[in-house]
Structure 1
């Protein structure tokens, strides 16, 4: 089976790894001159870890992450450092924090040489698997290529999504943006991580395996806000917040502090596939990062698609006979039935979580904090577990 993947992000690359190992002939088209990954970390919970295991990537992933993060105090703190909610260590479940650059490298190394074509603009022109591809040095000229399956992994601003859904689904700005960074040196966290909340602002802390720290800072602002100095702006916004927030920002090179407008999809998609075109990751279900599930859900997509297409690939079939076409359609339908309800539910919960934690009113924020403090920690843990519980489908 000849498969095209549009987009070399985590979702696209992990899907390519799984399908290539299962026997498909895979080509990944990436419009950028090189895959982009660095500058931030990623929380991978039990569901993402299970997906990586399904894809055969556990060993490489374990080599760059550390289970010690599971022993850190986690939950929500106030700006002065007082805890308002803590999740019991034995209820956190599996968790790893990975530098996105490391995960990207693992995925690229797992692919056959020449699988990823950078600087290649690929556009779906028909749901039968036909692509228009403009390659580097082609001076604007494009060629038409046909694939047995096209996987749209082209992110929040996916053009493949329009072909599948039938209409353009615009991104929806959340009302807040996030700075992300990784310290250049180890910083002592005294065994405490998690998130600190204020009025329309939040700060998150997550330790990496080598002692460096991934952090993020969130603030309400217009989508088109402009700051002359991003690092200085973060430092000013979080002046006076508890230790070691100032140290984390100071330990991050200014050029590595990047801000992203946080958006999700303006509506739920009615479908994730049409004919021989299927969506994964942000192209299908872009969500805000408030539950730390964007990467995990993309990995689940990759593992699910790999498992469901496995029987067809194992027989070396391209899906072109009537019987094969029916089997391919059945696999894609099952993928959609498994992935659409779960991802859309998580996206909705994540958006609601962001609205709650970005409250600016001191009165409403105080009420929020009081309610969170009153919720039993075991209930918080059980809610988290309901999102993080996942296993690959049976075939």
Structure 2
């Protein structure tokens, strides 16, 4: 679990580490890196700008890229126990009828597990062996040392900005252009206990200016109901009623999902935007971007959180080979290996967004015609290749050090 700890206590614990690492952001990427480094005998300082962990959470689909990450941290069994298999995927027409159902389990089983999990539960799993964090703290300056909002100062060998898509730490770094894709869509997230007859089934309805998805997690399903931002002003209940009218064939499971949206007084609104930094490393400040701060994903391919965890694991495994003299070379090789992988997956998510987040009856008909013949394997082909070609971080680190 995350344990609230003062900054001075964290700094004292780190005093004799061979690499002094500061991680800004206790989200999925930051916690993954912090937990991994602690298994290697380091004491990374972890800070979080929120005064407490009160993120409302959402559902994550994690592909097999995360299996080696969780095994190295020693929490893979707990992860499987607290997540749910996502083995089948159904695509529904704009009228709500199921057009096709694909076997995701058979597609991905060769590579490992494909699981649904709540974000908050994932953070608990990642910190099962304990993880100190200093809340309500941000970085204010980065130079020869780091200044904090608490007015304390300390020197580090590496600063990791893992504080999300709207990273404040990134604004202090020289990482080139930071571009974004704004789909103009957003959606509400909530939960339902109505698992239906097939609890391992994920379903999506791509409508005319509407999107409804349900995704399994442990003992319940996560629900996303969205549309163009301008259309969301009517509120979740009214949008749910619009879906019922537009898609009368949704069936009891999706009907229960809409009931849950209507009944929830505190749904979480998720804007569908992403971000991409031109560079991940600011060598002058000995700092790197990680996770959403480097490449924040649209949720369309279900790969963003997994790639953030993989990037953190790659970085941690490579840092295990580094000392202060080889650190720059190791970081450069990490960016060289990992950045193209992440951006390839991000581009796939952007491509799917162009297909999914559209409006117009004619567009809906054309899309459904294409989806009748387009397999999930074809759509996710680039992602599956990334899974199959996961790089060896130890070999990458050794190559970087020997090439210095």
TM bin (shorter chain): 0.7 to 0.9
Does the 8 A contact of 1:132 with 1:143 survive in 2?
Answer: yes
Superimposed CA distance per residue, residues 17-55 of structure 1 (whole angstroms, 9 cap, x where no aligned partner): 011221222111111111234432111111123322233
Name 1:120's counterpart in structure 2. 137
Task: Tell me how far apart the structure 2 counterparts of residues 255 and 98 of structure 1 sit (CA, whole Å).
Answer: 23
Name 1:361's counterpart in structure 2. 360
- RMSD across aligned positions (CA): 2.4
Name 2:348's counterpart in structure 1. 349
1:10 aligns with 2:37: no
Does the 8 A contact of 2:175 with 2:282 survive in 1?
Answer: no
Summarize the Cα distance change of 1:335–1:32 in structure 2 as closer, same or farther, 3 Å threshold: same
Structure 1 outlier segments of 4+, above 4 Å: none
Summarize the Cα distance change of 1:107–1:190 in structure 2 as closer, same or farther, 3 Å threshold: closer
Name 1:105's counterpart in structure 2. 124
1:144 aligns with 2:153: yes
SS at 1:155's partner residue?
coil
Give the C-alpha shift of residue 391 in structure 1: 5.1
SS at 1:260's partner residue?
strand
Equivalent in 176, 179, 186 of residue 185 of structure 2: 176
1:292 aligns with 2:302: yes
Map 1:318-329 → 2, pairs under 5 A: 319=323, 324-325=324-325, 327-329=326-328
* TM-score of the aligned structures, taking structure 2 as reference length: 0.83
Task: Tell me how far apart the structure 2 counterparts of residues 123 and 65 of structure 1 sit (CA, whole Å).
Answer: 37
Task: Tell me how far apart the structure 1 counterparts of residues 107 and 146 of structure 2 sit (CA, whole Å).
Answer: 47
Superimposed CA distance per residue, residues 213-266 of structure 1 (whole angstroms, 9 cap, x where no aligned partner): 1111221224xx7747x431442232243022231232355234111211112x
Does the 8 A contact of 2:48 with 2:133 survive in 1?
Answer: yes
Superimposed CA distance per residue, residues 137-185 of structure 1 (whole angstroms, 9 cap, x where no aligned partner): xxxxx222211211100111113323443456264422111211122x3
Summarize the Cα distance change of 1:247–1:371 in structure 2 as closer, same or farther, 3 Å threshold: same
Equivalent in 50, 53, 57 of residue 71 of structure 2: 53
Task: Tell me how far apart the structure 1 counterparts of residues 319 and 289 of structure 2 sit (CA, whole Å).
Answer: 14
SS at 1:79's partner residue?
coil
Task: Tell me how far apart the structure 2 counterparts of residues 122 and 234 of structure 1 sit (CA, whole Å).
Answer: 40
Does the 8 A contact of 2:190 with 2:260 survive in 1?
Answer: no
Summarize the Cα distance change of 1:271–1:5 in structure 2 as closer, same or farther, 3 Å threshold: closer
Does the 8 A contact of 1:50 with 1:391 survive in 2?
Answer: no
Name 1:216's counterpart in structure 2. 224
Structure 2 unaligned regions, length at least 5: 1-18, 396-404
Give the C-alpha shift of residue 268 in structure 1: 4.5
Summarize the Cα distance change of 1:367–1:297 in structure 2 as closer, same or farther, 3 Å threshold: same
Task: Tell me how far apart the structure 2 counterparts of residues 194 and 384 of structure 1 sit (CA, whole Å).
Answer: 19
Q: How many correspondences in the alignment?
A: 365
